[in-house]
A and B are shown apart, each in its own frame.
Chain A
Amino acid sequence: MPDVCFYFQVHQPWRLHPYGVFDIGKSHDYFDDRANQAILEKVATRCYRPMNALLEELVAKHDGRFKASFSISGSALDQLERWAPDVIASYQRLAATGCVELLGETHHHSLAGVAHPGEFAAQVALHAARIEALFGRRPQVFRNTELMFSDALAGPIAALGFRGVLAEGAERVLGWRSPNFVYASRPEPALGLLLKNYRLSDDIAFRFGDRGWSEHPLSVEKFAGWIHAVNGCGTVVNLFMDYETFGEHQWAETGIFEFMRRLPDAILDHADGGFVTPSEALARHPAAGTAEFRDWVSWADSERDLTAWLGNRMQRAALEQLMALREPVRATGDPALLETWRRLSTSDHLYYMCTKYFADGDVHKYFSPWDSPYEAHIAFMNVLADLGQRVGAAVR
């Protein structure tokens, strides 16, 4: 039986007000704190608190044999500290067990890795320091925003001291090969790659509560059977998903919490079955080969590329204009302005401008606070224009 490696993404963006063009120059109040607080509290109630409690229960019950990993974005940490500090405390308890590993990422869950190497390094360092301060350990393994990865990022990640990266197990990278092995990065052979098994991950994250799915309802025995079936052609099954799977995307009524409560038993029932953290997976299993990420790969949509964030010209213009403000903002030496600018670098703002309505659009609509991608773009550009005025740079 292969090892099972759970990874959960925890992230909250600083959503914008519907900041209008006539607000430019008059108001510098960009972020909708009321909405951000309301959403954070809702997600904390439905997902973070019950699921953290469940994980604490599982770690205790299985005497250290149940393991999982998280990446928690800096903006999520900021919001939790402000509006739900008890959740931070529960993550600290989980981290202290040694069974839960915290991964590195860009502090503001940004596209800096795609757009700006200097900003990427700065945000990763910021996040690593934050994680070390809160949880006592510097991250060893990296997970870039929404699993965006390409060979171009391998060098910078290795240079920042990470031993491995989580990425999407996309067919165009793997070809006929299985995602259930550790791979080495082609340009950085010392950098290990853990690739998401998207079929098994999505069985939990997307399909679990779908009554139209032929495997519904999914029992722990069935799922453990699928994991077990990997035996002999894989060493680690990487189950990577958004933490909001638990209680938000899959409501408690679907039985998702019960499923997770009983899953470790079913996995550990097999004599050689077990859970690993990403660091353990990389230490235990040598690379089975190299994986080449010639183009950007992410975990979004059926395309698994960057088109959810940079698929249309509004998105590309927004990122370009944002990055053009980096130097003028830094030149002010004002840390509050830099933090504001970094909040705007969060990937969600670009995601809200996505116009891929037809195939994948429902997901985008569900996750967007805006009526339309056009309204998202307008508010973002207006905010950039105001920020630009404050630092003496024009935005059109």
Chain B
Amino acid sequence: MLGWEFPPYFAGGVGVVCEALTRSLVGRGHQITYLMPLAPPAPGAPGVELIEPGADAGAPGLELVGITARLHSYAAGAGPRIRIPGEVPPPAPRPLYGPDLLSEVDRFAARAVEIARARRAAPDLIHAHDWTTFPAGVALRRALGRPLVAHVHITEFDKSGGAHADPRVYEIERAGMQAADRVVAVSRRVAAVCSERYGVDPARIRVVYNGVDADTRPAGPAHLPGPVVLFLGRVTLQKGPDWFVEAARRVLDAEPRATFVLAGTGDMLPRVIERAAALGIADRMRFPGFVDRERASELFGLADVFVMPSVSEPFGIVPLEAMERGVPVIVSRQSGASELLRNALKVDFWDVEGLAARIVSLLRYRALATELEEAGRAEAQELDWDWVAERTEAVYREVVHA
């Protein structure tokens, strides 16, 4: 398994996904060696650090192998940050993306092959997550003669909104997908991008949705006086926080006691706060900034409605977490999750009126909210990582037996 992140060494959602999938696969009896970039350099073998082999994951089938790198995370460099009083500081930026990310990606690939050769590795298959590990996946496939599964969580087109795809990144993505024996896409949306923008034969693409594990943290503190509507995610164009604010304005006409919590940080946060002030609803909004998983869990405990108004979302795992916590969910139709979820309300991200109307309906009609809470929780419990691992195994069987 080739990943760019693995909790606690992670910055974005993909790391969480890789960990959960890896642990579930190990739980199902697979032996996994997980290669990832890691800093700082460890003493010993130059450039290679073995972190508590077989122990770190708490599972006997898993071994984490770090390859030293001088890189920065996704979140760092994501634009100007503003300080919010009382904010839990985000984790210190881990050096994952470096000054020259592309050369790090190449170096990761070269070192991965060296390590595999040195250890005489003979895996049944190679599973690579997103473009930063695709060159390593392709190199290992060539060196070891084993099949490659390229797992696409997000493409350059999603990150750039389709307009400004970096041609070098695009080329790496394309080469990885083309060389792979199977491409796993996290939604039909992503599968369509893989075939239409990257020329992958649809017959080689398999959709494997993400899942969610039960959150066993206790419920949050006391409720706010009125109903609470929650946004939780990076505050970037892709996630649609501006649409959330516009909808809030509209909802407050009908439900003036509602509070809107926009949790997360990102380059659009200053603009979004200014917009809320300009609309005269700053007193009905809260901006807690970056929230860790503890705080996220608390916020789910407070929320009456969770909204994911993403403009473009390959999958979008947060609504599953909200559903698992019994929070009624509204997702944009422009998300991979909306393909999968049945017990969620769906709306086009640009339909401010439609989004606001659904929020108001959920706040007003008790039977509707309760039905979505219960059916949503039941649905999310079905969509656990074991279910994802099972579907991933089916892809493995195809390439191993081919």
| Contact in complex: A378, B356 (CB < 8 Å) | no
B333 CB to nearest A CB, Å: 10
Task: Find the A residue at minimum CB distance from B364.
Answer: A396
Stretch at the interface among B125-133, B168-176, B369-377: B369-377
Which residue from A22, A355, A377 sits with its C-beta under 8 Å from B365?
A377
Q: Is A188 an interface residue (CB 8 A)?
A: no
Interface flags, B328-349, vs A, CB<8A=1, else 0: 0000000000000011011000
Q: Is B367 an interface residue (CB 8 A)?
A: yes
A70 to B372, CA, bound (A): 39
Task: Find the A residue at minimum CB distance from B359.
Answer: A21
User: With A21-B357, A22-B357 as given contacts, are A313 and B367 in contact (CB-CB < 8 Å)?
Assistant: yes
A259 CB to nearest B CB, Å: 36
B254 CB to nearest A CB, Å: 7
Q: Is B21 an interface residue (CB 8 A)?
A: no
Q: Is B401 an interface residue (CB 8 A)?
A: no
Q: Is A227 an interface residue (CB 8 A)?
A: no
Main secondary structure of the interface of A (DSSP, over half): helix
Main secondary structure of the interface of B (DSSP, over half): helix
User: With A21-B254, A374-B345 as given contacts, are A382 and B361 in contact (CB-CB < 8 Å)?
Assistant: yes
| Contact in complex: B371, A374 (CB < 8 Å) | yes
| Contact in complex: B366, A317 (CB < 8 Å) | yes
Q: Is A237 an interface residue (CB 8 A)?
A: no
Q: Is B358 an interface residue (CB 8 A)?
A: yes
Q: Kindly list chain B residues whose C-beta atoms are within 8 Å of the C-beta of A21.
A: 254, 357, 360-361, 364
| Contact in complex: B353, A378 (CB < 8 Å) | no
Task: Find the B residue at minimum CB distance from A361.
Answer: B342
Q: Kindly list chain A residues whose C-beta atoms are within 8 Å of the C-beta of B366.
A: 317, 396
Task: Find the B residue at minimum CB distance from A371.
Answer: B346
Q: Is B165 an interface residue (CB 8 A)?
A: no
Task: Find the B residue at minimum CB distance from A373.
Answer: B371
A355 to B368, CA, bound (A): 12
Instruction: Identify the B interface with A (CB < 8 A).
Output: 250, 254, 342-343, 345-346, 353-354, 356-358, 360-361, 364-368, 370-372, 375
12 pairs, CB–CB < 8 Å, chain A vs chain B: A20-B353, A20-B354, A22-B254, A313-B371, A314-B365, A314-B367, A317-B367, A318-B367, A355-B343, A377-B367, A378-B357, A396-B364
Instruction: Identify the A interface with B (CB < 8 A).
Output: 20-22, 312-314, 316-318, 355, 357, 371-372, 374-375, 377-378, 381-382, 396
Contacts A372-B346, A374-B343, A381-B365 aside, 5 further interface pairs with beta carbons under 8 A come to A21-B361, A374-B368, A374-B371, A375-B345, A377-B368
Q: Which 8 pairs, one residue from A and one from B, show the smallest C-beta to C-beta distance?
A: A317-B367, A20-B357, A313-B367, A378-B361, A21-B357, A21-B360, A314-B367, A381-B365
